[in-house]
Chain A
Amino acid sequence: MTAHPEIKADQTLDCKGLACPMPIVKTKKAMDQLQSGQVIEVQATDKGSLADIQGWAKNTGHQYLGTIQDGDVLRHFIRKSSADEIKEEKKYPHTVTNEELEKKLGNVTVLDVREPAEYAFNRIPGAVSIPLGELEERLGELNPDDDIHVVCRTGTRSDLACQLLAEKGFKNVKNVEPGMSGWSGPTEKNFQI
């Protein structure tokens, strides 16, 4: 019945039929229970929630991924951020900048290790999606001899992914810094609102 393929979220919050400020209040409460990095889908019929959710995310520091519309229902996707996400120390030594990757597009494999919802709303064209949490069990989908450039939002998750790949015998792996948060090259997405 839905016109869109499913986007995976860790939690779905039903705010259908609720008026302002309830969708925001309920989102805040639900978000408090989530762990950093998890994605919530907020379903609302309040038309004001489209602007409100974005303003809320901006002010609370959480990452607004996007909204898709199914009939009267607005489906907002937000990822919970953590303060240490940008402070964590990076360990994998081989990095390239966004600009360097942009020049090599088409000649390298771009591996996007963000959550599926982040990937769905904004990604580098042709990027392969394997979330960091699934990488180890899905290594078979990658070729250890390929030139693999790993990307996430800020370079933290991709750093961990690079370390894992190197450990597993992948020879040509580069971490893209900073990643999608600073990406100005071509992008594609699944949805248009």
Chain B
Amino acid sequence: MSTKVAIIASNGGLFDAYKVFNIATASAATDAEVAIFFTFEGLNLIHKQAHHQLPLPAGKEHFAEGFKNANIPSIPELVNMAQEMGVKIIACQMTMDVMNLKKEDFIEGIEVGGAVTFLDFAKDANVSLTF
């Protein structure tokens, strides 16, 4: 009955983070079951240090002020909200191996899994998104 939303986050910039976490929190707030698979540069979005200072795209640095003026919540705040509402966060084991990252390098409350972990969730999802 409930809607399932499966998201792949594979890019590591600030814009990418907002796309991912806005959709994820809005879905969760609308009673959807949400899982995000973070892979390759997407891992930045849940990296303990990196997710506090995600880069704006080159040449777009001036948007930093726009985010502030529009009173947009920070990425760590959005991540917190997402987790509070039960959004499942899955870090890609293969990318972690390639980049030599450990589970402890990421925020609390994540799962680590392979492609099939995500596919198992996504196979009956109503909405699948890639960012």
Chain A residues within 8 Å of B, Cβ to Cβ: 17-22, 24-25, 27-29, 52, 55-56, 59-60
Complex CA gap A21/B25 in Å reads: 7
Q: Of residues A21, A22, A29, which shows the largest number of chain B Cβ atoms within 10 Å of its Cβ?
A: A21
Chain A's closest residue to B22 (CB) is: A21
Q: How many residues of B contact A (CB 8 A)?
A: 14
CB<8 Å pairs between A and B, sample of 20: A19-B71, A19-B72, A19-B73, A20-B22, A20-B26, A21-B25, A21-B29, A22-B73, A24-B26, A24-B29, A25-B25, A25-B29, A28-B29, A28-B30, A28-B31, A28-B85, A52-B26, A55-B30, A59-B30, A59-B32
Q: Of residues B26, B31, B73, which shows the largest number of chain A Cβ atoms within 10 Å of its Cβ?
A: B26
- Do B25 and A19 touch across chains, with their CB atoms under 8 A apart? no
Give min CB distance, B66 to chain A, whole Å: 11
Complex CA gap A18/B78 in Å reads: 13
Give min CB distance, A152 to chain B, whole Å: 25
- Do B30 and A60 touch across chains, with their CB atoms under 8 A apart? yes
Choose among B30, B70, B81 the residue that contacts A56 (Cβ–Cβ < 8 A): B30
Complex CA gap A19/B31 in Å reads: 20
- Do A60 and B25 touch across chains, with their CB atoms under 8 A apart? no
User: Per-residue 0/1 for B1-15: is the Cβ within 8 Å of any A Cβ (1 yes, 0 no)?
Assistant: 001000000000000
Chain B residues within 8 Å of A, Cβ to Cβ: 3, 22, 25-26, 29-32, 70-73, 81, 85
Please indicate the chain A residues that have their CB under 8 angstroms from the CB of B3 in the complex: 59
Choose among B32, B70, B81 the residue that contacts A19 (Cβ–Cβ < 8 A): B70
Report the 6 A-B pairs with minimum CB-CB distance, sorted nearest first: A28-B29, A21-B26, A25-B29, A24-B29, A59-B30, A21-B25
Complex CA gap A18/B70 in Å reads: 8
Give min CB distance, B58 to chain A, whole Å: 24
- Do B31 and A59 touch across chains, with their CB atoms under 8 A apart? yes
Additional 18 contacts, C-beta under 8 A, given A22-B73, A25-B26: A17-B71, A18-B71, A19-B71, A20-B22, A20-B26, A21-B25, A25-B25, A25-B29, A25-B81, A28-B29, A28-B85, A55-B30, A56-B29, A59-B3, A59-B31, A59-B32, A60-B30, A60-B31
